[in-house]
A and B are shown apart, each in its own frame.
Chain A
Amino acid sequence: DQQVKQNSPSLSVQEGRISILNCDYTNSMFDYFLWYKKYPAEGPTFLISISSIKDKNEDGRFTVFLNKSAKHLSLHIVPSQPGDSAVYFCAASVGGSGNTGKLIFGQGTTLQVKP
């Protein structure tokens, strides 16, 4: 039972354009969501998070949108850069911020940004 789903295994965009990565979840108890970026042979690196009391959080080129009624969140990267090419994981937790318990991860989306 996949509680967090990233239905697009891969995404390719041109440098300078917007990248939109999507994530769906089924557990209505999730109240904290995170995006991690992963390069090959490295551990995931935290990118941005959002609490369920918000519908948008922005950090530089990265914005996360949360639609609780649709149980959907998305990560927007504007403008996309070749260094953004990596695997992006969506994750969710119950009970607030990410250190109080386990994270449930999606399968990941591989983003390729072409120069």
Chain B
Amino acid sequence: GAGVSQSPSNKVTEKGKDVELRCDPISGHTALYWYRQSLGQGLEFLIYFQGNSAPDKSGLPSDRFSAERTGGSVSTLTIQRTQQEDSAVYLCASSTNNQPQHFGDGTRLSIL
């Protein structure tokens, strides 16, 4: 597709389970970002990839959170042993050539 694609669009899981969120960036975009938006809050930066490397992981809230990117394209964000405070909308963005970041529609994660 032409835009950033995220899957699943919604995920409901029990506390303590692991979840994996996927992001397909715009083709050719070298930079990829993960953000999350908790209820009533702004977007919070999590991690930034340039190619397959992550020069900035400063926003990952704990070691339960990890992300990888392979082939300079698809990225997965993994949350282990989910907690209720992990409930949020997780947004992925991509960009290239000093252009603004383009966002996907996000994954709404609910932890029961």
Q: Measuring CB to CB, which residues of chain A are less than 8 angstroms from any residue of chain B? A: 4, 6, 34, 36, 41-46, 49, 89, 91, 96-108
Contact = CB atoms under 8 A, between A and B. Distances in A.
Contact of A34 (B31, B35, B100): B100
Given A105-B42, A106-B42, A108-B42, A46 B104 contact: no
B91 to A, nearest CB: 6
A49 B98 contact: no
29 contacts: A6-B42, A36-B103, A42-B105, A43-B91, A43-B93, A43-B104, A43-B105, A43-B106, A44-B43, A45-B103, A96-B98, A97-B98, A97-B99, A97-B100, A98-B99, A98-B100, A99-B98, A99-B100, A99-B101, A100-B31, A101-B55, A102-B45, A102-B48, A103-B33, A105-B35, A105-B44, A107-B41, A107-B42, A108-B42
Interface in B50-66: 55-56, 58-59
B99 A105 contact: no
A10 to B, nearest CB: 12
Interface residues of B, number: 29
Contacts of B55: 101
B4 interface: yes
